């Protein structure tokens, strides 16, 4: 329908970051459109020619924010629309996207087809869903809502929702941990080893969302991680590996939108996890992927049965999308290494790479196990030989040299980071043995202390599972950079230290772990 110029509103950018939800701001006394009429249905369509977005509506009563003849858009919505301030835009009622009908069908127990997942995921990637609509989808997907064929459909739809890299090599390897274990920075040891061995390993990582550090956050202590694709490509060709932030490429963009709702809701279903990880890796051009599933009482996966089910799902969907997927189930009973938080984890990683005497043994061992399995993706390596190859590369200093080369190639960090100046030690309330360390509690304390935003914030562990402790001996030290964060973290640690001390050391787990 053609629309006359005077039936449009003046576009205005409102400097509010609404965190992956498009929000439009309309004055209550808008000359042209009555805000209340639009508000109950919640969503409007904003357009100018071919430029069109959907946005949730907020009604404004202050002309300094938006005038009655203006339409304001939040940062993301403004960027999505792609017009300049002052452009003339028309608005219209926006029914929920058509694909929401499929979400409702799913909620009623239906099995959806590939085409339906494609449509849902396309709409989500294009920011056509409101957060409540995304929440409905996330819930529909969670908890046994999808059979494994549907997980495959969803994964493929997510791969298709964005760009896909092609490294033009037959073997492109990657490793990925499903998360949940603080300090688990194995990638920063595995990638240098595997790249030094010669396999192409273009590792891109996320920044932490709800954890105290992602690999990108920790690597950033040493090097630039926010690199344009062209440069990343050159680095990977030259060094056979990289450790960069994955946010610059538009890989499986629907995943980022889904995550922005899943994380605050703390709804993490196997289907969503598998689709999220495999779609990102497939889109990033990997051909071979090693998945690490830590298992333990405060890990994401809490029993061996659950770990096995998840493993089968990874294997099934990996096969279907043409990504060779191997799964390792590892010991997830406690944090890995001593440090939690970017700087503190980085110290652990460097000690392992430098073969320092006080390097954390668990980080070294786990990294070697994983690197060995990745190296065995090479058809020329005999099964079982990977570990020894990885150990040779690490012990000889070639892994450290490769790490140095990668840091140089990505651009050495110009700032120097140190552990946070504000420190407090949490001590043992009694003597005995460390019987349990709660991953969730430790992650939360480190996060409140300021990690990952403040590189030096976090926690340094002095005692690990099975260690004997005397009453009053320090269990760990909190590091923070800001007083308010320091107070938050200490407050939480006082309520729940995360440590359990018992008369006996804990038994070994019932199963063999990598």
Select 33 or 499, whichever has its Cβ closest to a copy of itself. 33
Site for a copy of itself in 261-280 (CB under 8 A): 261, 263-267
The radius of gyration of the chain from alpha carbons, rounded to an integer in Å, stands at 25
* Terminal Cα distance for the chain, rounded: 63
Whole-number minimum distance, CB 405 to a copy of itself, in Å?
A: 31
Q: Which of these segments, 29-37, 301-309, 325-333, 341-349, binds a copy of itself (CB under 8 A)?
A: 29-37
**Distance between CA atoms of 338 and 476, rounded to whole angstroms?**
9
What residues are annotated to the active site? Answer: 268
Please provide the DSSP assignment of 54-77 as one string.
EEEEEEE--TTT--TTEEEE-HHH
Site for a copy of itself in 199-228 (CB under 8 A): 208-210
Select 224 or 260, whichever has its Cβ closest to a copy of itself. 260
> E strands, 165-305, where?
173-177, 201-205, 241-245, 288-295
User: Given CA atoms 228, 231, 233, 239 in this order, what sign does their dihedral have?
Assistant: negative
Binding flag, residue 139, a copy of itself (CB under 8 A): yes
**Cα–chain-centroid distance for residue 135?**
18
Select 242 or 259, whichever has its Cβ closest to a copy of itself. 259
CA distances from 72 to 38, 45, 64, 88, 257 (A): 15, 13, 11, 12, 22
Residue tagged 């659950």 (tokens): 306
Supply 113's token pair: 């087809």
Supply 181's token pair: 């274990």
Q: Which of 11, 83, 100, 257 binds a copy of itself (CB under 8 A)?
A: 100
Q: Which of 54, 77, 112, 134 binds a copy of itself (CB under 8 A)?
A: 134
Whole-number minimum distance, CB 93 to a copy of itself, in Å?
A: 6
The closest of 427, 426, 417 to 481, measured between CA atoms, is 417
Binding flag, residue 254, a copy of itself (CB under 8 A): no
Select 50 or 108, whichever has its Cβ closest to a copy of itself. 108
The closest of 240, 241, 246, 170 to 206, measured between CA atoms, is 246
Helical H segments across 90-186, by residue range = 100-107, 114-125, 131-141, 148-160
Site for a copy of itself in 40-59 (CB under 8 A): 40-43, 57-59
With vertex at residue 195, the alpha carbon angle to CA 189 and CA 200, rounded to the nearest 5 degrees, is 130
Binding flag, residue 439, a copy of itself (CB under 8 A): no
Whole-number minimum distance, CB 312 to a copy of itself, in Å?
A: 20
Binding flag, residue 495, a copy of itself (CB under 8 A): no
Query: Residues 341-370: x/- map of binding to a copy of itself (CB under 8 A)?
Result: ------------------------------
Supply 421's token pair: 């100046």
**Distance between CA atoms of 337 and 341, rounded to whole angstroms?**
11
Binding flag, residue 107, a copy of itself (CB under 8 A): yes
Please give the size of the binding site for a copy of itself, defined by CB under 8 A.
71
- Provide the CB-side half-sphere exposure for 472 (13 A, CA): 0
The residues facing 424 across adjacent strands are 478
Q: Which of these segments, 27-35, 173-181, 316-324, 496-504, binds a copy of itself (CB under 8 A)?
A: 27-35
Select 292 or 485, whichever has its Cβ closest to a copy of itself. 485
Binding flag, residue 111, a copy of itself (CB under 8 A): no
Q: Which of 10, 48, 51, 65 binds a copy of itself (CB under 8 A)?
A: 65
Contact between 292 and 177 (Cβ < 8 Å):
yes
Q: Which of 448, 461, 469, 513 binds a copy of itself (CB under 8 A)?
A: 448
Site for a copy of itself in 321-340 (CB under 8 A): none
Q: Which of 50, 108, 168, 415 binds a copy of itself (CB under 8 A)?
A: 108
Q: Which of 11, 24, 25, 409 binds a copy of itself (CB under 8 A)?
A: 25
């Amino acid at each position: 329908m053609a629309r006359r110029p005077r039936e449009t509103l003046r576009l205005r950018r409102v400097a509010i970051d609404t965190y992956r939800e498009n929000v439009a701001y309309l004055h209550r006394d808008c000359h042209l459109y009555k805000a209340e009429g639009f508000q109950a249905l919640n969503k409007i369509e904003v357009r100018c020619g071919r430029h069109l977005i959907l946005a949730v509506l907020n009604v404004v009563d202050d002309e300094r924010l938006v005038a009655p003849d203006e339409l304001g858009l939040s940062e993301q919505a403004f960027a999505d629309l792609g017009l300049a301030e002052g452009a003339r835009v028309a608005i219209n009622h926006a029914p929920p996207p058509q694909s929401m009908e499929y979400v409702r069908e799913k909620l009623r127990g239906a099995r959806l087809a590939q085409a339906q997942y494609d449509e849902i995921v396309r709409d989500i990637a294009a920011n056509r869903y409101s957060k409540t609509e995304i929440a409905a989808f996330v819930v529909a997907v969670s908890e046994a809502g999808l059979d494994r064929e549907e997980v495959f459909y969803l994964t493929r739809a997510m791969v298709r929702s964005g760009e896909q890299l092609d490294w033009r090599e037959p073997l492109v390897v990657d490793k990925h941990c499903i998360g949940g274990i603080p300090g688990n920075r194995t990638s920063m040891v595995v990638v240098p080893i595997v790249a030094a061995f010669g396999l192409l390993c273009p590792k891109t990582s996320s920044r932490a969302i709800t954890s105290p550090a992602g690999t990108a956050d920790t690597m950033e202590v040493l090097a630039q991680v926010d690199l344009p694709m062209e440069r990343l490509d050159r680095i990977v060709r030259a060094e056979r590996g990289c450790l960069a932030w994955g946010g610059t490429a538009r890989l499986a963009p629907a995943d980022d939108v889904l995550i922005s709702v899943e994380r605050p809701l703390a709804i993490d279903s196997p289907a969503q996890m598998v689709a999220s990880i495999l779609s990102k890796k497939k889109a990033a051009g990997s051909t071979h992927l090693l998945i690490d599933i830590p298992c333990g009482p405060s890990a994401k996966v809490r029993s061996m049965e659950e770990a096995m089910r998840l493993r089968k799902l990874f294997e099934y969907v990996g096969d279907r999308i043409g990504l060779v997927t191997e799964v390792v189930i590892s010991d997830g009973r406690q944090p890995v290494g001593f440090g939690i938080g970017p700087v503190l984890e980085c110290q652990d990683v460097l000690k392992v790479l430098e073969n320092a005497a006080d390097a954390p043994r668990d980080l070294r061992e786990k990294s070697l196990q994983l690197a060995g399995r990745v190296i065995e993706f090479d058809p020329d390596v005999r099964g079982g030989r990977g570990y020894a190859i990885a150990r040779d590369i690490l012990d000889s200093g070639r892994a450290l040299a490769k790490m140095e080369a990668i840091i140089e190639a990505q651009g050495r960090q110009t700032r120097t980071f140190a552990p946070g100046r504000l420190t407090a030690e949490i001590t043992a309330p009694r003597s005995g043995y460390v019987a349990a360390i709660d991953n969730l509690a430790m992650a939360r304390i480190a996060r409140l202390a300021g990690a990952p935003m403040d590189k030096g914030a976090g926690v340094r562990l002095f005692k690990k599972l099975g260690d004997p402790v005397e009453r009053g001996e320090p269990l760990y030290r909190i590091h923070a950079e800001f007083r308010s964060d320091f107070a938050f973290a200490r407050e939480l640690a006082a309520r729940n230290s995360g440590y359990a001390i018992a008369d006996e050391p804990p038994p070994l787990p019932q199963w063999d772990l990598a």
